[in-house]
Structure 1
Amino acid sequence: MNDRRNLYFYTLKDATTLRKVEELKNLAKRYEFNLVNQSKDANIIVSVGGDGAFLQAVRNTGFREDCLYAGISTTGNLSMYCDFYIDDTSKMIDAMMKEQVEVRRYPTINVTVDGQTSFHCLNEFSIRSGIIKTFVMDVFIDDFHFETFRGDGMVIATPTGSTAYNKSVNGAVVDPMLPCMQVSELASLNNNRYRTLGSSFILSGNRKLKLQIVQDGNDYPSMGIDNEALGIRHVREVELSLSERKIKTVKLKDNSFWEKVKRTFL
């Protein structure tokens, strides 16, 4: 990290957090980091809050590939994207001075809606019925019609996102070193007319997934990218693929993905 000295803090705005961030800024100056006011001028972007704040930091700074992202937790618990706790400054100093950090590259998903609007996701893309009624989607894998889904919706997750919404709907936890997407159903309806796989499935990073919403009057689904809702109403088709863009994050050498999974769930 010696060649990366321009630091930008993305933080929650409550008074307690802002006061502690000022202490972090003073610490950074003491160790000769340059504090910048614009994220575009930074080569290290630090989110302060939790995993939600980290996702917002990545999204609101443009999913940059030319900088490092680091997460600092304010909750007292370390999380999937936060390797540091805001009150444990000695650990941060040791990590910086003794080079105890590594760089991990996390894959992202590219989402294109109706062939026009594109987004990136670090955790997951979700699509759900916008009313209290199931909706229908034709599911294509590489232009091959795989199934016709009827139900509440689907979650398409990255490996790091596999521990979030995906896991809550019985999806598998996936090692982030595997470049892939996981597709998990939300309350699918299976009968003589509609038949789905009924379990999560994993697609290679070279595959493309296409969801075509059947226009039967319930074609205003609710969509989410990570922890943000998309304000797009009428939707006909969503295409998803693993992006070439990877997010570089700072992690401690003794805090691997599977150590985080154990700490969080076991």
Structure 2
Amino acid sequence: MNNERKNLYFFYRQTEEVLQKITPLISLAKQHGFTIVDDAQSANVIVAIGGDGAFLQAVRKTGFRNDALYVGMSTGELGFYCDFTIEDHEGLLHAMKSENIEVRKYPTLKVTIDEEDTTFHCLNECSIRSSVIKTFAMDVFIDDLYFETFRGDGMIVSTPTGSTAYTKSLNGSIVDPMLRCYQVSELASLNNNHYRTLGSSFLLSDQRKLTFKIQQENSQFPIIGMDNEALSSKHSEVISFQLSDVVIKTVKLKNNSFWHKVKRSFL
């Protein structure tokens, strides 16, 4: 066994149903020489049980570990981040014990609020949406170039893997995670004689910096969504985005590439 992958941490909701299913998995893992740890920072492998939402929460709650392997186990159908089902105990343990395990690397998004005051990471997307039934305005900059003034319900900035989630519902492009880029999409933009936006999603390379400067009119501040968590942006004025150097590593299985998952989910 690879000693770098012997400490397992299980992230899951402690419901009766999940506990019944995870107990035999934990016992089997111990029998195969794995150590089950209670502290995620001591783990080499972090196993998220539940679904894609649980995987996103596991990554966020454990601090976007760049030095650990994340594994998704679904309690239902397989998702984009879940390569195993809860019943597939042997498949998971076999993958963990393999000396020639292949690793898939997912890029993350770095979000900075008010010039380094607060920084977050996102695996799927960051959304900026109106907190009331009213549009709000933002000046959009690409690097140092003023690009447009957006007025509408909000904007979505997504990673390549996040392109299959919220962004897809906005008719954004599905982006191969092997591309070092991120995507910007509009939510119900207002286009008239005063406001004019591009009106379509666009991609930025990992060398580009995107900045939103929120216009402070009427003190209407938006809500920021970080993957599947919400953050109030009250009193925040500038939100910046860049593709991060932090990558999330997952198990790469044969015949289960990103495009296998796209086909399975949508076609």
Give the TM bin, normalised by the shorter chain: over 0.9
In 2, are the aligned partners of 1:80 and 1:260 still within 8 Å (CA)? yes
In 2, are the aligned partners of 1:104 and 1:249 still within 8 Å (CA)? yes
AA of the residue aligned to 1:105: K
TM-score by length of 2: 0.96
Distance 2:50 2:38 in 1: 19
Aligned equivalent of 1:108? 108
Deviation for aligned residue 1:165: 0.5
Tell me the C-alpha RMSD between the 2 structures. Answer: 1.4
What are the Cα deviations for residues 41-81 of structure 1, in whole angstroms up to 9, with x where unaligned?
A: 10100000000000000000000111100000001x10000
Q: Where do residues 50-199 of structure 1 align in structure 2 (5 Å cutoff)?
A: 50-75=51-76, 77-96=77-96, 101-115=101-115, 116-199=117-200
What secondary structure is seen at the aligned counterpart in 2 of 1:152? strand
Where in structure 2 are there 5+ consecutive unaligned residues? none
- Higher mean displacement: 84-93 or 7-16: 84-93
What are the Cα deviations for residues 202-243 of structure 1, in whole angstroms up to 9, with x where unaligned?
A: 000010000001111143101100000013322211011011
What secondary structure is seen at the aligned counterpart in 1 of 2:73? strand
In 2, are the aligned partners of 1:100 and 1:253 still within 8 Å (CA)? no
Distance 1:227 1:97 in 2: 32
What secondary structure is seen at the aligned counterpart in 1 of 2:203? strand
Residues 1:133 and 1:218: Cα distance change in structure 2 (over 3 Å): farther
What are the Cα deviations for residues 169-205 of structure 1, in whole angstroms up to 9, with x where unaligned?
A: 1111000000111000000011111100000000000
Distance 1:231 1:89 in 2: 40
Aligned equivalent of 1:39? 40
In 2, are the aligned partners of 1:101 and 1:253 still within 8 Å (CA)? no
Distance 1:148 1:128 in 2: 15
Distance 2:67 2:95 in 1: 21
What secondary structure is seen at the aligned counterpart in 2 of 1:196? coil
In 1, are the aligned partners of 2:103 and 2:250 still within 8 Å (CA)? yes
Query: How many residue pairs align between the two structures?
Result: 265
Distance 2:181 2:142 in 1: 13
What secondary structure is seen at the aligned counterpart in 1 of 2:140? strand
Aligned equivalent of 1:214? 215
Deviation for aligned residue 1:92: 2.6
Distance 2:242 2:64 in 1: 16
TM-score by length of 1: 0.96
Distance 2:90 2:7 in 1: 21
Residues 1:99 and 1:198: Cα distance change in structure 2 (over 3 Å): same
Aligned equivalent of 1:200? 201
Where in structure 1 are there 5+ consecutive unaligned residues? none
Identity %: 61
Distance 1:152 1:235 in 2: 17
